[in-house]
Each structure stands twice: as C-alpha cells, then as structure tokens.
Amino acid sequence: MGAFSFDTSARSALGLVRSGNEDSALVTGRLIAVADGMGGHAAGEIASKIAITTLHALAPVLTDTTIDSDSIEDLLLHSLHTIDLNISEYVKEASDLRGMGTTLTALLINAETIALLHVGDSRCYRLRSNNLEQLSNDHTVIQELIDQGAISLIEAKDHPQRSVLTQALMGDGNIDPVLQVYDAKEGDRYLLCSDGLSGVLTEKEIKTLLKTGDKEAAIKSLIDATYVNGAPDNVTVLIADVTRDEVSANQLLGAAQ
C-alpha cells in the first residue's frame, strides 16, 4: 500500500466585518496548517504570513520520508521556535508592530501517524466514522476557566474574555508547544479552522455540515453558515481526507498568498 496523504480542499474568506484577512493557510499533500493573526493595522496579516511561509519553507524537510519519525517530530516541534524567532526579527525592524502575533494549528502525516502542532485557538477536529472529536485544546483564558470548573460552557459563550489567548506566537519566546500524535486511518476527515468558524457555529452544526461527502460543498456550507450568523471574523477552513492515493498540492491561502 502507498503512504498516507491529505486530499484537501481549502478556502479563506474575509467575513462581513473585518477590512483585511488576517488568516493564512498552507496546503500540501502531507502538511496542512491554519494561522490566525492578531494585532492592529496590518500586523495580524504579517504575523500569520510569517508563520505559514516559514512552515512552507520547512515543508521539504518535514515531509522527507528518509528521515526517521522521532527526528521529524522534533523538527516539527522546533518549527514553532523558528516561527517565533522570525516574528521577533521582523518586529526588531518594525517596532510599531510589536505585540502582533498569530495562532498556528498544523497537521503532518508521517508514516502511519498524524502529528498535530498547535498554539492558540484555531482548531483541529477529526471526523472518524460518525464521531466528531476536537483534537486541539484552546489556549485561552476561557478554556482554563472551563478546565478549572470555574465557569460552564454556556457561561463561556458570552464571557468578556472569550477571545483572550494564553499562548500565541508573538516573537517573545513565551511558548510551551505540545505535539500530539495520532494513528492515521484511511477515510478519516480532518477539519482545520480559524475561530471565525468555531466561534460562530456549534460543534453539532459543524459536524452536520462536515459530513457532506463532497469537500468543496462542505466548505461552502460551513462558510455560508458563518455568514448567516454575521461572520464577525475572517473564516478559514481546510477539510482534509486521509487517503492512500498520492496527492500533489502546494497552496498558500489568505494573507500568505
């Protein structure tokens, strides 16, 4: 049997409120990622672009099948520090952009496993058979309060700190990355998205629309649903089916284009 690949459809949309798209995304056959930038002026766009273009430059090494799995996972984890350093170097030359940052949620197929690299509140979901599971853990004040039992999920929905991140790539070295590794299974469907989707739609709504067989139709339905609900933020959606077929893809979306 052939190696696993991601058969991916993707779209990054502006939303109805923002004047610029601060999201960026990457699609290749074995590495996919979403970054959601933050910061005034064009800073968010710059930060997410740095994250995605840095990861894109590292893709040939990260997807090199001659490198052993442990080394690949170490390289993927270290890519966050490379991104953080690149943001730091940029801010040194443009001090008015200090404070800009970005989330990053990336999936890498490596042999028989899929590695999830995650910082911030962009999300990764896996649809396996009829079960939708959120694999990423939001790095937010709200998630910490939920984990502590201090507030309920209902209270979290309208909490004033619902968008405050506890971790982001800001060039300050203040990140504690975790790499999660899962078994790869043909037919699994993965969803990577910015919070422009997950902050507007419920998990039940996401699951219903994600189950649509055609990936392009599913993406259109998901983004259309955010527009119906006001689309207050940029919306970036990647739907990736795990396949044994060889997939050739090399696409940058959003601010990274």
Q: Show the domain range for 142.
A: 5-254
CA separation for the pair 7, 202 (Å, rounded): 25
Contact between residue 59 and residue 31 where contact means Cβ atoms under 8 Å apart? yes
Q: What would the mean pLDDT of 171-195 be, rounded to a whole number?
A: 94
CA separation for the pair 147, 153 (Å, rounded): 10
Contact between residue 192 and residue 107 where contact means Cβ atoms under 8 Å apart? yes
Q: What is the pLDDT of residue 18?
A: 78
Let me know how long the chain is. Answer: 257
pLDDT bucket at 170, cuts 50 / 70 / 90: very high
List the CATH number of the domain containing 190. Answer: 3.60.40.10
Give the closest residue to 23 by CA, choosing from 97, 120, 107, 95.
120
Q: What would the mean pLDDT of 77-97 be, rounded to a whole number?
A: 93
Q: Where are the beta strands (DSSP E) in the chain?
A: 5-13, 23-28, 31-38, 101-102, 104-110, 113-119, 123-128, 131-134, 178-183, 189-193, 235-243, 250-254
pLDDT in tens, 21-79: 999 999 999 999 999 999 765 689 999 999 999 999 999 999 999 999 999 999 999 99
Round the average pLDDT of the chain to a whole number and report it: 92
pLDDT in tens, 103-156: 999 999 998 999 999 999 999 999 999 999 999 999 888 877 877 777 776 666
Domains: count for the chain: 1
Answer whether residue 1 shows pLDDT above 70: no
